[in-house]
Each structure stands twice: as structure tokens, then as C-alpha cells.
Amino acid sequence: MGLLLLRSLSVVCLIYISSFLTLCFAGDPFVYYDWDVSYITAAPLGVKQQVIAINKKFPGPIVNVTTNNNVVVNVTNNLDEELLITWNGIQHRRNSWQDGVLGTNCSIPTSWNWTYQFQVKDQIGSFSYFPSNNFQRVAGGYGGIIVNNRDVIAIPFGTPDGDFTIMIGDWYNRNHFANNVEYISNE
């Protein structure tokens, strides 16, 4: 009986210690998104035209994460031009090559994919993402990023009654190809 009790206690202690160590050395959680970037037809100003959509949505989906999450976004470019997504306002600590700015990132060629991975470390608030090549931003492909606080971080105000993401920007009655050609010809 004593040996059985000792073994049981040993197993319980081993489970307790391994659970404690798992919690102590656990990494920050990962959040995964798969995006298919393509053209759809929409009429934002009442004029039908080709716009850039993410997963057939215009504007794109809201990225809703919690501070310190590791964000992984697999982007498949189904446009007929190169694509580059910029994560506006997100601090890219230790991975500035993931910020989506031409020069630190190469554009994603047509029919290829690229996986962005970054951590929203110690950030809380509203941010945005958008395509940053050749006037693509005026054709859509943008959306909001909401970084929520962790429960262990107190916020200096009451809990909001709700969230509304409002995207404000310029829109044209011509597609971005025509705008880009006119801009380049006027330089």
C-alpha cells in the first residue's frame, strides 16, 4: 500500500512540475490567416470597376489579434501584377524585412505566395494594411488591424461598448492602371 501511494504521489508531482514548466516556458500564441488576393468588380462610387479584394471581400478582412500574438499571413497573389502588403503602424521588432515596404521586401510575383510573420509586441490599438505597389492602394486590398490588450494589461479607460472599423481614403472613377499611367506620364 505504501509503495503504491508513493508511486501515485510521484506521478502527481511529475505531472504538476511538467505543467508548471510548460506554463513558464510557453511562447506567445500564433494567429494564422490565409489570403487569396484577386480582382472583383465593385462600384464604390456607383461606377463599376475592377477592385482588389482579399478572399473576395472589399475592403479586406479585419485582422483581430491580441498584443504579443505572433501573426502569420499567407498571401497568394492572383492579380496580374506584383503585390506587396504594408502593415501600417505595426512595429516590426527583430523582423523589419516583414514590413511590406519595397526595398526591405520583394514584391510577390503573380501566382506566387508569400508568408508574412510578425509579432504585435506591446502594441494596443487600431492599425491598417494596404498594398503598396503602383497605385494599388486606390484599387482596394486594404483593411483594418485591431490589436487588443491582454487581460493582464490594464487599460486606463472603461471597456468600449463596441468597435467600428472605418477606412477612409481616396477613390477614383478609373482603375488604378489608368491612374498610374497618368501619374507617370506627368512626371
pLDDT per residue as tens, the chain (187 positions): 566 665 666 655 556 655 554 444 457 899 999 999 999 998 888 888 899 999 999 999 999 999 999 999 999 999 999 999 999 888 887 777 777 777 778 899 999 999 999 999 888 889 999 998 887 888 889 999 999 888 776 777 777 787 788 888 777 777 777 777 776 777 6
Q: Say what the pTM is.
A: 0.78
Please state, in angstroms and as integers, the Cα–Cα distance from residue 177 to each residue in 9, 77, 80, 140, 173, following that order: 71, 17, 11, 13, 12
User: What does the pLDDT read at residue 15?
Assistant: 63
SS3 state of residue 172? coil
- Let me know if residue 12 belongs to a domain: no
- Let me know if residue 23 belongs to a domain: no
- Let me know if residue 21 belongs to a domain: no
- Let me know if residue 17 belongs to a domain: no
- Let me know if residue 11 belongs to a domain: no
Is 139 within 8 Å of 40 (Cβ atoms)? no
Q: What is the CATH number of the domain that holds 50?
A: 2.60.40.420
The closest of 89, 56, 54 to 74, measured between CA atoms, is 54
- Residue ranges making up the domain that contains 75: 30-153+160-185
- Let me know if residue 1 belongs to a domain: no
User: What does the pLDDT read at residue 87?
Assistant: 92
- Let me know if residue 109 belongs to a domain: yes
Is 49 within 8 Å of 87 (Cβ atoms)? no
- Let me know if residue 46 belongs to a domain: yes
User: What does the pLDDT read at residue 72?
Assistant: 95
Q: Based on the structure, what is the number of domains in the chain?
A: 1
